[in-house]
Amino acid sequence: MLKYISKRVFWSIVTLLIIIFILFLLLQFMPGTPFDDEKLTEAQRIIMYAKYGLDAPFWQRFGIYLKNILLEGDFGISLALQKNQLVQDIVLPRLGISIRIGLQALLLGTSMGVVYGVISGANKNTWVDTITTFVAVLGVSVPSYVFALLLSYFFGYKWRIFSITYRHGMPFWSSILPTISLSMFVMAQTTRFLRTELIEVLSSEYIKLVEAKGVKRIKVIFRHGIRNALISVVTILGPLTVTLMTGSLVVERVYGVPGIGDLLVEGILTNDFNVIVMIAFIYSALYITMNLAVDILYGIIDPRIRVAKGG
């Protein structure tokens, strides 16, 4: 197992390096520069380019950039947002809050999704199933920013239960609305997936045999049904993290959450190359880690997948 994990970690690092290269390359094609100030003259702009080393050839710039990352963990300095500050000093303090809200949303979404999925799968084609399926379809098809706007209008503005924007003074309380907005899609996907899986598992031969043993229906579902259905649900956790990340871009903006999603949007708007690369790099790293975690989790739930013994 350890060997398997270290192999995976190695390939993850290789993947991340390739990602950095692609990001760096793509940014060359972005329209505009970090110095798109109308007050700057052409001569000043050339001076700025020279100052930040942007006039060097592509490969030379990439070489320096990569060397700084690998040897010093230095992702460069901000060119536009907070001029001349180290990018990691801007990004890292904001990382925690984004991860926290993301995890909250993942936890809330999957646990609600499992509950709904089990209820609707176990009561296939009844009115309970119809209602949960309706909610799930709604959750999948309505984008998270719509939920964000609706929730902040009703709960924040109209009824004043939660604050409209994120506040440092009450980090959990004011993160509830963004969490719910983000979790809707996760909840809906988990529900739909688990429902389908559970229905299939419950109609399998081995469930028939368990029923033939005289085991109570509720125990059949909990002991055998859910566990087998969850195996395939775990696989969608990876893709779901991606939707959480993209969702966070907008949701953080709506609620004014000082997270990296919000920062990325600003970075893109101002052509702040180094900020963009570092945040995109973090997203990639999170996604790769999530996939690794899913694969390990997979082995824990499904004994057939366990690598060697002691998995």
Residues that bind other proteins (CB under 8 A): 203-217, 219, 223-224, 227-228, 231, 301-304
How far apart (Å, rounded) are the C-alpha atoms in residues 92 and 87? 8
Question: What's the number of CA atoms in the CB half-sphere (13 Å) around residue 74?
Answer: 10
> Smallest Cα–Cα separation from 1: which of 218, 292, 227, 246?
292
* Nearest residue (CB) to other proteins, 295 versus 302: 302
Assess contact for 248 and 182: CB atoms under 8 A. yes
**Closest separation in Å from C-beta 192 to other proteins:** 22
Task: Answer whether 259's CB lies under 8 Å from 175's CB.
Answer: no
First-last CA distance in the chain? 6
- CA angle (99 as vertex; 152, 290 as ends), nearest 5: 125
Tokens representing residue 158 in the block = 């109209």
Q: Tell me whether residue 83 or residue 227 sits nearer to other proteins (CB atom).
A: 227
Q: 39 or 213, CB closer to other proteins?
A: 213
| DSSP run (H or E) holding 94 | helix 87-122
Name the minimum Å distance from CB 228 to other proteins.
6
Please state the closest distance from residue 100 (CB atom) to other proteins, in A. 32
Q: Kindly tell me which of 158 and 213 has the beta carbon lying closer to other proteins.
A: 213
Cβ count near 131 (within 10 Å): 13
Closest to other proteins by CB, 129 or 266: 129
> In degrees rounded to 5, what are phi and psi of residue 133?
-65, -40
The least distance separating other proteins from the CB of residue 122, rounded to whole angstroms, comes to 13
- Taking the complex as a whole, the smallest distance from the CB of residue 193 to other proteins amounts, in Å, to 18
Work out how close the CB of 203 gets to other proteins at its nearest, in angstroms, rounded to a whole number: 8
- CB nearer to other proteins: pick between 97 and 199: 199
- Tokens linked to 59: 């490969």
127, 141, 229, 245: which is closest to 189 by C-alpha?
A: 141
- Sign (positive or negative) of CA dihedral 265, 268, 270, 272: positive
- Whether 34 and 270 have beta carbons less than 8 Å apart is answered as yes
Measured distance CA(59)–CA(254) in Å, rounded: 39
Closest CB to other proteins among 130 and 203?
203
- Closest separation between CB of residue 115 and other proteins, Å? 20
Minimum distance from residue 234 beta carbon to other proteins (Å): 12
Q: Which is nearer to other proteins, 187 or 226 (CB)?
A: 226
